[in-house]
Structure 1
Amino acid sequence: MAELVFFSGTMDSGKSTLALQMDHNHRARGRAGLIYTKMDRAGSDVLSSRLGLATPAREVTDDLDFWDAVVEHATTGHRIDYLICDEVQFYTPAQVEQLAKLVDEMGVDVFSFGITADFRTQLFPGSRRMIELADRVQVLQVEALCWCGRRATHNARVVDGAMVVEGEQVVVGDTVAGSATLVEYEVLCRRHFMRRMNSAAARTAAASPDVLPFDLDVCPVPQQ
């Protein structure tokens, strides 16, 4: 039976790498699929991972109807067994419902990948709808790490080196937004997210003669 599966994790947890691997595995077994993504770090119409792997993909726009697109693809003589959908947090809730319909009505497997919560710890609309509808939600086992060495659980937005918790929900990272304003993202453990202490703030504090080592509030790494 076809499934709607949501693979979730923070940044740096290997979501896009897994998406590329799953596409390879299914194609190697003779299955035919389509790859979709939205606002990939490498640009439009491409699915890429931080390991340097990449493959062409179909760009998801807000007005894309997955049901219409896949039906059109199938009626022109192309077999479609599965979809790889990356960056699903940026999809609209209606698009997630269309993916669920493809699973139920056409028997197409949908493997989706995305971040659950934004830099304010609020659920992305697309991710929320995916959690509500998915047959399975699978948290990736590759753990991203905070600068302190503990498991990272939160995605932080960093503007000019300082962590922020206000602003638009979607802003592409590693870009200049305006005049010399660098927007980046960093994964943090909950403690350092709540304390607004990203790696740059920790380095600045460590270099200050007025800050004692324990003031950095470095989390001890659990022993294996």
Structure 2
Amino acid sequence: MAELIFYFGTMGSGKSTLALQIHHNLANSGQNGLLLTQLDRAASAVSSRLGVSEPAIEVHPGLDLYRLADDVIAEHGSLEYLVCDEAQFYRPAQIDQLAEVVDLLDADVYAFGLLTDFRGRLFEGTSRLLELADQRQELQVEARCWCTRRATHNARLVDGKQVYEGEIVVVGDTGGHEEGFEGADAEVTYELLCRRHWNQARLT
């Protein structure tokens, strides 16, 4: 019986690496599937910080994931799985579509994402995944805060200063920029912190 499985963790916990490994193993076993992502550090690809990457379908907000899967079945005769990276960015309606892929098309869905944004709040896609998933698995590779405690929060830094307000989706980690800070583009990066130092905005 097909399942919707949600793997979650902080940045640096190995989500994309595991997504690529699952896709590789299933494809090598002869199964037909799709690799999907949204706003990865590499455009239209799933990329791991270890340097491994694979081309992927970019999930834009208007993409109907159930129709995509159904079209693959119509064209190729089968679809056994979807591997969905950066699923925290998917719209709630798209998460519902992934559940329909499992229930109506009998294809497994492996979704990977962050739990919370830089404000410490659940992403909309994550919230819906937690509500619908058959299995919820926290990744056991523990990223660490600079103090060596377990990192639990993704802090957004704008020109090196932690912020708690702003657009929910701003891609950093690759030299992202955000408008509106002192009237100019500002460099956006992210840092992993424990809850204490995230609350204190303490970076060292």
TM-score of the pair, normalised by structure 2: 0.94
What amino acid is the match of 1:15? Answer: K
> In structure 2, how many angstroms separate the alpha carbons of the residues matched to 1:154 and 1:167?
16
Where 1:191 maps in the other structure, the secondary structure is helix
> In structure 2, how many angstroms separate the alpha carbons of the residues matched to 1:77 and 1:13?
34
Where 2:88 maps in the other structure, the secondary structure is helix
Q: Which runs of 5+ in 2 are unaligned?
A: none
> In structure 2, how many angstroms separate the alpha carbons of the residues matched to 1:93 and 1:192?
31
What amino acid is the match of 2:177? Answer: V
Instruction: State the Cα distance separating 1:150 from its structure 2 match.
Output: 1.0
- Partner of residue 187, structure 1: 192
- Partner of residue 158, structure 1: 157
Pairs within 5 Å for 1:56-71: 56-71=55-70
Pairs within 5 Å for 1:46-195: 46-173=45-172, 174-178=175-179, 179-195=184-200
Bigger share in strand = 2
Instruction: State the Cα distance separating 1:112 from its structure 2 match.
Output: 0.3
Deviations 1:75-124 (A, max 9, x none): 11242100000000000000000000110111100000000100001110
What amino acid is the match of 1:177? Answer: E
Deviations 1:149-172 (A, max 9, x none): 111000100011111101111111
> In structure 1, how many angstroms separate the alpha carbons of the residues matched to 2:75 and 2:194?
49
What amino acid is the match of 1:190? Answer: R
> In structure 1, how many angstroms separate the alpha carbons of the residues matched to 2:106 and 2:73?
12
- Among all aligned residue pairs of Structure 1 and Structure 2, give the percentage whose two residues are the same amino acid: 53
Where 2:76 maps in the other structure, the secondary structure is coil
What amino acid is the match of 2:165? Answer: E
Where 1:52 maps in the other structure, the secondary structure is coil
> In structure 2, how many angstroms separate the alpha carbons of the residues matched to 1:24 and 1:176?
33
Where 1:181 maps in the other structure, the secondary structure is strand
> In structure 1, how many angstroms separate the alpha carbons of the residues matched to 2:151 and 2:48?
19
> In structure 1, how many angstroms separate the alpha carbons of the residues matched to 2:87 and 2:164?
22
1:25 aligned to 2:30? no
Matched residues, number? 198
The ranges of structure 1 where at least 4 consecutive aligned residues each deviate by more than 4 angstroms after the TM superposition are none
